[in-house]
Amino acid sequence: MYNCERCGRTTSPGEKTEKVIIKVKIKEYENILRVPTDNPRRREYMTKKSKGYEIVEEKKMCLDCSKDFIKNGKVEGKPLKDGIFS
């Protein structure tokens, strides 16, 4: 049992919950890689930047609210894909 964060309804036991992503942000990660060298005692490193997404806000909703929200919901940012918004 849980409370839907959109409509406030208390669900029945065993009813499935949906976590809907409301807001994400683009995050840059810096990876440190070891570069092979001719001398095995000498170590050289390089950095590589990669991008990803971090969830900023998500809500637990009942199935009816989550379907309605993904279909007609107002969220911040533009839709990226499959109900994920920036």
- What is the total count of domains within the chain? 1
Q: Percentage of the chain surpassing pLDDT 70?
A: 84
**Could you tell me which residues come within 8 angstroms of residue 7 by beta carbon, excluding any fewer than 6 positions away?**
61, 62, 65
Residue 11 lies in a domain: no
Quick one: pLDDT at residue 82? Answer: 53
Task: List pLDDT tens digits, range 45-73.
Answer: 888 898 888 888 888 988 888 888 877 76
Residue 9 lies in a domain: no
Q: Average pLDDT, stretch 10-38?
A: 86
> CB count, 10 Å around CB of 74?
5
Residue 12 lies in a domain: no
CA distance 63 to 19: 10
Question: Residue 38: is its pLDDT beyond 60?
Answer: yes
Residue 59 lies in a domain: yes
Residue 29 lies in a domain: yes
CA distance 62 to 18: 6
Question: pTM for this one?
Answer: 0.58
Quick one: pLDDT at residue 76? Answer: 46
Residue 77 lies in a domain: yes
Q: Name the residue range of residue 66's domain.
A: 18-85
